[in-house]
Amino acid sequence: MELVRSNNAVVTMRDYRKGNWTHEETLVLIEAKKLEGQRRMFKNTTTTSTSSSSSIKPSGELRWKWIEEHCWRNACFRSQNQCNDKWDNMMRDFKRVRDFQRRKYDNDNDKVVSYWEMDKIQRKNNNLPSNMLPQIYQALANVVEAKLGGSVLPTVVIHHETTAPPPLPPPPEDAPMTWPTQEDSSTKRRRSSEGKRSNISEEISSSANVLIEAIKGYNEREETRHKELYSLHQRMYEIEESKIESERQGFNELVEVINNLSNSIITFTSQRTHL
């Protein structure tokens, strides 16, 4: 349990969850890390032309505190230290699986079994994590692609076919027999690859623009809310000051009345003595 001070200066108690992470908690953490990276990227682009003091990068502790707040709002009750440790472990496992998959596809070796076709013993023998889920891998790949702008192997599960393909129909009698050359095949593969990369780039650019607009609107709403809270606190402070001033004036008036009453009693007593 930990004390947490929020923006409105109210101290709350947080009871962080212990134990293994659930699948839902892991996806919430990945989404939080992705949004935090996009938030920092947006702030860097909007503060390029400002003074150097406004472009100071926040510390890692503040970034992970933001991630904790996002997880807490999405029913992932973990601390910033838990989130940091979990992320480091996931990225270590992700890189091992990614490098293994890259070696498989770079070598174009169909005999090498994909990670998701292995059992736990095969994964252990290849020094790979034993329980990396395809959904978790793909979500982490999306975060890495958004951060580095590079290419990460997608989640691919190979299924070996045992049935023979249907025979090709015979060519027409008058048609000349032609065979695709190696140059034609490589050109088609290159064009297909370039088209896929272009489509992916356009989708990423479109999604980034939508996310930037959403983050910009969120930041504007946060700034408006902070201004309203500041105005409210200022008003409360003025009311408190007015209350204290009223009490002080009332106390002074009470003291003055007591003094007048005391003087009247003394005068009355003195007059009775002379009589």
Residues 72-86 have pLDDT tens digits of 999 999 999 999 999
pLDDT at 172: 47
Q: Please report how many Cα atoms fall inside a 13 Å half-sphere around the Cα of residue 254, on the Cβ side.
A: 6
pLDDT band at 13; cut points 50, 70, 90: confident
CA neighbor of 97 nearest in space, from 121, 129, 136: 129
Q: What is the mean pLDDT of the chain?
A: 77
List of residues 6+ apart from 2 with CB closer than 8 A:
13, 14, 16, 79
pTM assigned to the model:
0.50
Rounded Cα gap, residues 72 and 78, in angstroms: 7
pLDDT at 275: 67
Given a cut of 60, is residue 152 above it in pLDDT?
A: no
Domain boundaries, the chain: 197-275
Rounded Cα gap, residues 232 and 227, in angstroms: 9
